[in-house]
Amino acid sequence: MRRLAIMLMGMLAGCSPVGVLNALAPTDGVTVTTDVPYGAQPRQSLDVYAPAEGRSPVIVFLYGGGWRSGDKAMYRFVASALAARGYATVVPDYRVYPTALYPDFLRDAAQAVAWTKQRIGQYGGDPCRITLMGHSAGAYIAVMLGLDPRWLREQAVDADRDIAGVVGLSGPYDFLPLRDPELQTIFAPSGDLRTSQPIAYARGDAPPMLLAHGRIDRVVWPLNTIRLAEAVRTQGGRVEERIYPALGHAPMVGALAGPLRWLAPVMADVDAFVGGETRACSADLAAVGP
């Protein structure tokens, strides 16, 4: 098993297909509904992984890909693992470069969260216990939605009232200056690039956060997590910080899968945070019919 895990870790690190992880993903007691539209644009669809238990806490998982790539089907191993732990899990696609620039991906994610708030009750999820979770560029999106309330507000969702918590894995939160020409293009619409950085919106009254990073990550430097956690903490916010000594960038999300959990207690920490440390929203929200 350890040899298999090392092989899978190598596949993830090389951005290879993760078919083996998906093939090993738990299926018992998990109902999967794919390609549900949350908007009219291409890539505005999502998959729902529903556990057998009714009224389950909800996780909206946003994958990474540098705002340039990604596919929700690749992350079945993440969503199935979370659903097997009792979380109704929503995995949306969102528009990416070159079709989309900042803040299109934020608006898509906010729209997916609004769909979740309105519809997840039909799949057994509790719309009053929604946690945003993301890896890499997806962590950027999740954290931005939690810290800067304007994106969710556009979709009639209140980040402070309706979001139970935010989990950011290996996220870029303080990554200026931009040296990659494509990233310069992606974030150019922000005008002042400082306004595109999650750390600029650190505040004490945001939803509680779990920020985790691998110490040997060379794709997104761990200082992104350390600095944001310090900024939120300085403002009086609730934030838990985890730095895993032996994890790189891709293995962070890989460690959520059963065969790779020996790498670091990422799933255990996410489970403890979402299951016990997040807050309930202020109102008992009813699901909206079709």
Tally of CA atoms within 13 A in the half-sphere of 199 that contains its CB? 18
Assess if residue 209 is contained within a domain. yes
What pLDDT score does 280 carry?
65
Give me the percent of the chain exceeding a pLDDT of 90. 82
Identify the CA nearest to 144 among candidates 116, 170, 172. Answer: 172
Q: Is 90 exceeded by the pLDDT of residue 24? A: no
Lowest mean pLDDT, pick from 36-40, 53-57, 158-162 = 53-57
Q: Is 50 exceeded by the pLDDT of residue 170? A: yes
pLDDT class for 29, splitting at 50, 70, 90?
Answer: confident
Assess if residue 286 is contained within a domain. no
Identify the CA nearest to 129 among candidates 11, 289, 277. Answer: 277
Assess if residue 102 is contained within a domain. yes
What pLDDT score does 243 carry?
98
Overall average pLDDT of the 53-76 stretch: 95
Q: Which residues of 119-134 are buried (b: 16+ CB within 10 A; e: fewer)?
A: bbbebbbbbbbbbbbb
Identify the CA nearest to 194 among candidates 172, 221, 219, 175. Answer: 175
What are the pLDDT digits (tens) for 111-155?
A: 999 999 999 999 999 999 999 999 999 999 999 999 999 999 999
pLDDT class for 224, splitting at 50, 70, 90?
Answer: very high
Q: Is 60 exceeded by the pLDDT of residue 74? A: yes
What pLDDT score does 281 carry?
63
Query: What is the model's pTM?
Result: 0.91
What pLDDT score does 240 carry?
97
Assess if residue 257 is contained within a domain. yes
CA angle in degrees (0–180, nearest 5) for 74-210-12: 30
Q: Please, what is the average pLDDT of the chain?
A: 91
Assess if residue 52 is contained within a domain. yes
| Residue 154, phi then psi, degrees to nearest 5 | -60, -25
Rama region for 221: left / alpha / beta (φ>0; ψ in -120 to 50; rest): beta
Asked if 249 contacts 217 with a C-beta cutoff of 8 angstroms, the reply is yes
What pLDDT score does 4 carry?
46
Asked if 270 contacts 142 with a C-beta cutoff of 8 angstroms, the reply is no
Assess if residue 112 is contained within a domain. yes
> Domain with 135 in it: what CATH number?
3.40.50.1820
Q: Which is more confident, 16 or 279? A: 279
pLDDT class for 278, splitting at 50, 70, 90?
Answer: low
In this structure, what is the dihedral angle of CA atoms 85, 80, 148, 235, given to the nearest 10 degrees?
30
Asked if 228 contacts 173 with a C-beta cutoff of 8 angstroms, the reply is yes
pLDDT class for 217, splitting at 50, 70, 90?
Answer: very high
What pLDDT score does 21 carry?
85
Instruction: Give how many domains the chain has, as a whole number.
Output: 1
Overall average pLDDT of the 206-223 stretch: 98
Q: Is 50 exceeded by the pLDDT of residue 13? A: no
Amino acid at 149: P
Assess if residue 35 is contained within a domain. yes
Residue 199 is part of which domain span?
2-277
Asked if 216 contacts 246 with a C-beta cutoff of 8 angstroms, the reply is yes
Lowest mean pLDDT, pick from 14-18, 190-194, 264-268, 286-290 = 286-290
Assess if residue 189 is contained within a domain. yes
What pLDDT score does 283 carry?
47
Q: Is 70 exceeded by the pLDDT of residue 286? A: no
What are the pLDDT digits (tens) for 253-269?
A: 999 999 999 999 999 99
